[in-house]
Chains A and B, each alone.
Chain A
Amino acid sequence: MQKQEFTITVYTENQVGLLNRIAIIFSRRKINIESLNTSPSEVDSVHRFTIVINEYEEVVRKLCRQIEKQVDVLKAYYNTNDEIVWQELAMYKVPTDVIAEEVKVERLLSQHGAKAVVIRKDYTVFEVSGHREETDKLIEVLEPYGLIEFVRSARVAIIKKSDGFHSKLKEFEYKEPGEHAVENEFLDKNQEVFSM
């Protein structure tokens, strides 16, 4: 077994301080968070964290249990990259005159699927969404032409096998918990741990 990239998806209540409570589960164990995104989820009032880390599966599984143990956390899942559809958004600011003059640059940009967001006399902002390798590559391409600013967002990911959280939440809300709320799936040798 070796370290690999895992995407952790956490469904939570929208509560002040919860970001810290989740973040310190990683920092306490000196684990670096590669990327972290918080957003609404498919369910109104339920928040969704998407966290990327590089770790052994065993460690990730334990982290998910620690996360799920937090009172305001509904559920934590982890997935490998092939179990998810994921994107990151990158933005690049380059001098407008270079693009205008060099046809080559324009071609390169369209090759990388870059879309202009803002075009001004002095600079132009492009955006690319995709995997990290793709957005990284465009930095290399643009650097010789005077890349002024670069920024990339955290990863957002959709779990391929997921049926969404609506039905699960209903069970969580019942006083007598249903199958999902009482599942101890991690004990189930037959099923994939923490995958939907």
Chain B
Amino acid sequence: METLELKKQKTEEVKSKSISGSAAVLEAFLAEGVDTIFGYPGGAIMPIYDALYDYNDRLKHILVRHEQGAIHAAQGYARASGKTGVVFATSGPAATNLVTGLADAMIDSTPVVCVTGQVFAHLLGTDAFQETDVINITTPITKWNYQVTDAKEIPSVLAKAFHIAGTGRPGPVLIDITKNAQLQMIEYSGYEKCTHIRSYRPKPIVRKEYIEEAAKLINEAKKPFVIFGQGVILGKAEKEFIKFIEKGGLPAAWTIMGMSAIPTNHPLAVGMLGMHGNYGPNLLTNECDVLIAVGMRFDDRVTGRLDKYAKQAKVIHLDIDPAEIDKNVKATVGVWGDCKETLPLLTELIQQKVYPQWLKQFKDCTTKEEDKVIKDELNPTGDTLTMGEVINTLNGLTGGDAIVVTDVGQHQMVACRYAHMNQSKSNITSGGLGTMGFALPAAIGAKYGAPDRTVVAIIGDGGVQMTIQELGTIMQFKPDVKILILNNSFLGMVRQWQELFHQNRYSFVDITSPDFVQVAKGYYIDGQSINERSKLKGALQTMLNHKGSYLLEVKVGKENNVFPMVPQGRGVAEIVLGKDEL
């Protein structure tokens, strides 16, 4: 009897071992395939950092300069790699510094898991040092959040966190772990991935009848028009999507978040939707007879005035999130499902077609836009440089193979209007939230997410000053990030609105900048500043050829405007090509 019990005991010992809650967190990361953590240590997360000391050979930790930088980097990592980004931050101010990034990841459906430290469980609610109610602060801006006070929960809660963040419509998850739980020893018998939560339906089984209805509408259409968003990229359905539009001969336009899901030079690509998108896709939204929306959410920047949006069209809406269907635009047929599954089903049922006349309408619009806007933007005759020609020259040098990370404002619109992209996950930007300061840290993360690709961060002079401290992260860890500052010495987009809609009353948009090259030098990052056309190509080439990070500041025209534009409160068909049309 004794020997039997002893044997049993021994096998149990082999099965489980005693580890700390902190180690359980890192074990979970390894099991989930995490390779890089972006973070910043502090009091309430010290046990986890202590455990990390022993995992240093298996988990890379990038010490950022501000927690906002950590989460934007994790977002950039996720967007460039298609994997879930991971963040460590301590309690209190560190946790609140994550708020902007969480809101950004929430609205742009980016999978991120944040682990924050929290004060000891017995101190919760006592206004302890560096205590904030991070769970309640982050509730509206997380897909899910949870506070762990007992280490025994850590393996299963982290498994849930990764499952929730990465499946269905992805999003940020925050796990707050009290210090006692980090220190607590638990019996650990391995990590089990979460594959099912009874109250959570990441994707439904597709209902064939809606596919059939949708296919019927498409087959009967005379002027079908596809608009697509990031859902195509998040669903890893780029190939399925291209097959779909190619078989149907369907012209397709992207939202800013959907950009790069298909090559920008695809014959059926007709450009970008939205307030500063291309002329044709906006104008012809109100002329198509069947509008097929794939993995997009009809943001107000895409639709303009809703009561003047595609009223003539039958709308097919494919989305994985049922709350999006009928939210802003009423769907004639809603196809709830993962577009990786729904698109092939739909492709099978649609007829092989071409619409030469209809495509010509898009081409005519492009010609008009080229004549009135693009020509002067890409080949300006004036003395000052334009943002468009910088992007255009960059296209020539990268061949469209780079990941372009943009911040928010005029440079973002211009970059997304003119950048060439050959492969998916090439466009990383803050689309929904419009977070200035996003680009520099996101570019750092993107480089870790896609180490083999060239990463160019295109940033305005305003946005770069919001997270400029992350140059320190670049200095220390040396990710090869090319920083291209388009400096017009203004908060350009606000200035444009003040010029166009506030009678030139420039109210606090005149922003001065430091000597960016000197600042970069201070961080041991090489760079230069130019303002002449003759030096542009050479300077961009120098930046791209440079071994390691490089900062190039290009001084561009101060008061250039971004056109076309769908002015706020107008319909998409009321898009204007210049100031004279307003």
Contacts and interface: CB of A to CB of B under 8 A. Distances in A.
Interface of A: 12-13, 16-17, 20-21, 24, 28, 61-62, 65-66, 68-69, 71-74, 169, 172-173, 175, 177, 181-182, 184, 186-187
Q: A-side binding surface: helix, strand, loop or mixed?
A: helix
Contact of B136 (A12, A20, A74, A175): A20
Contacts of B143: 71
Contacts of B140: 24, 28
B145 A187 contact: no
B336 A172 contact: no
Contacts of B207: 182, 184, 187
The 4 closest A-B pairs by CB, nearest first: A65-B323, A182-B205, A172-B198, A71-B144
Contacts of A20: 136, 139
A90 B205 CA distance: 46
B486 interface: no
Most chain B beta carbons < 10 A, residue from A61, A175, A184: A184
A61 B200 CA distance: 19
Contact of A172 (B139, B164, B199): B199
Contacts of B199: 12-13, 71-74, 172
Given A71-B164, A169-B198, 20 more contacts: A13-B199, A17-B139, A17-B146, A17-B147, A28-B140, A65-B323, A71-B199, A71-B200, A72-B144, A72-B199, A172-B199, A175-B195, A175-B196, A177-B204, A182-B201, A182-B204, A184-B336, A186-B326, A187-B334, A187-B336
B210 interface: yes
A170 to B, nearest CB: 10
A145 to B, nearest CB: 44
B322 interface: yes
A154 to B, nearest CB: 22
A65 B205 CA distance: 18
10 contacts: A66-B323, A69-B323, A71-B144, A71-B197, A72-B144, A72-B199, A177-B205, A181-B201, A182-B207, A187-B207
A76 to B, nearest CB: 11
Interface of B: 135-136, 139-140, 143-147, 164, 195-201, 204-205, 207, 210, 321-323, 325-327, 334, 336
Contacts of A17: 135-136, 139, 145-147
Contacts of B144: 71-72
Contacts of B322: 65, 68-69, 184, 186
A33 B570 CA distance: 34
B321 A62 contact: no
B195 to A, nearest CB: 7
B112 to A, nearest CB: 15
A74 B322 CA distance: 14
Contacts of B323: 62, 65-66, 68-69
Contact of A21 (B139, B147, B326): B139
Contacts of A68: 322-323
Contacts of A28: 140
A69 B205 contact: no
B216 to A, nearest CB: 15
A191 B436 CA distance: 46
Contacts of A69: 321-323
A72 B144 CA distance: 8
Contacts of B321: 69
B509 to A, nearest CB: 30
A156 B200 CA distance: 26
Contacts of A61: 326
Contacts of B135: 17
A60 B323 CA distance: 12
Nearest to B327: A62
Most chain A beta carbons < 10 A, residue from B145, B196, B321: B196
Given A66-B323, A71-B143, A184 B204 contact: yes
A20 B133 CA distance: 13
Most chain A beta carbons < 10 A, residue from B143, B164, B323: B323
A74 B139 CA distance: 18
Nearest to A75: B199
Contacts of B325: 186-187
A187 B204 CA distance: 13
Nearest to A16: B147
A162 to B, nearest CB: 18
Most chain B beta carbons < 10 A, residue from A21, A24, A73, A187: A187
Contacts of A71: 143-144, 164, 197, 199-200
